[in-house]
């Protein structure tokens, strides 16, 4: 399960499909292709055929002007994410960006995020039945950080 921040204004907010239609989406779809979790050859596919992975976001709507989600917005959307977690029962949760990492730490480990997301990039955390990976958000990650994310997830998934 990959958890992002919010549907992108030009991306998922328009397409209705998390991590499609914008640069972040293409970066995530490229990552999924490299991990064997997508059947696509084109990271810009409108409706990617994914296998064994579920994509979602901390908040359901694009915050106006692409601003950060507010604590109230995160709290309002938390029940959706909790329901998804219960339904999907993922083995691995990759938190993309500080909002997702903060949510995942609180929800899965009952802790506050111990450092900024850049310091936590690529780190793996036990969290009950789940293994949590904390990653810089693809909108802000360098190429090197995307490569490290791919390597960390590949090691974890064994593919
Ligand atoms: N698209 C999403 O669905 N989530 C993000 O966090 C960014 C782009």
Determine if residue 87 is left, alpha or beta; phi over 0 gives left, psi from -120 to 50 gives alpha, anything else beta. Answer: alpha
The best mutation among 8, 29, 61, 135 to test binding of ligand 1, ranked by most ligand atoms within 8 Å of the C-beta, falls on 8
> Do residues 57 and 3 make contact, with C-beta atoms less than 8 angstroms apart?
yes
7 CA distance to ligand 1 middle (Å): 4
Residue 108 has pLDDT above 90, yes or no: yes
Determine if residue 153 is left, alpha or beta; phi over 0 gives left, psi from -120 to 50 gives alpha, anything else beta. Answer: alpha
Give dist(CA 149, CA 12) in Å, integer: 22
> Do residues 132 and 113 make contact, with C-beta atoms less than 8 angstroms apart?
no
Residue 4: Cβ within 10 Å count:
27
66 CA distance to ligand 1 middle (Å): 11
Percentage of the chain with pLDDT > 70? 100
Task: Write down the pLDDT at residue 36.
Answer: 97
Fold of 2-157: Uracil-DNA Glycosylase, subunit E (3.40.470)
Which residue CA neighbors atom 1 of ligand 1 most closely? 19
Task: Write down the pLDDT at residue 57.
Answer: 98
115 CA distance to ligand 1 middle (Å): 22
Task: Write down the pLDDT at residue 14.
Answer: 92
- Any idea where the domains of the chain sit in the sequence? 2-157
pTM of the model: 0.96
Residue 66 has pLDDT above 90, yes or no: no
């Amino acid at each position: 399960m990959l958890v992002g921040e919010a549907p992108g204004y030009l991306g998922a907010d328009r397409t209705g499909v998390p991590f499609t239609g914008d640069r972040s989406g293409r970066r995530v779809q490229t990552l999924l292709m490299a991990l064997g979790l997508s059947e696509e050859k084109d990271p810009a596919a409108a409706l990617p055929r994914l296998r064994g992975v579920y994509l979602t976001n901390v908040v359901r709507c694009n915050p106006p002007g692409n601003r950060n989600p507010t604590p109230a917005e995160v709290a309002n959307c938390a029940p959706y994410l909790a329901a998804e977690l219960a339904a999907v029962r993922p083995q691995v949760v990759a938190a993309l960006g500080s909002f997702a990492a903060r949510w995942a730490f609180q929800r899965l480990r009952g802790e506050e995020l111990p450092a900024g997301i850049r310091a936590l990039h690529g780190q793996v955390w036990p969290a009950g039945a789940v293994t949590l990976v904390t990653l810089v958000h693809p909108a802000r990650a360098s190429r090197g950080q995307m490569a490290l994310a791919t390597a960390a997830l590949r090691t974890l998934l064994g593919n």
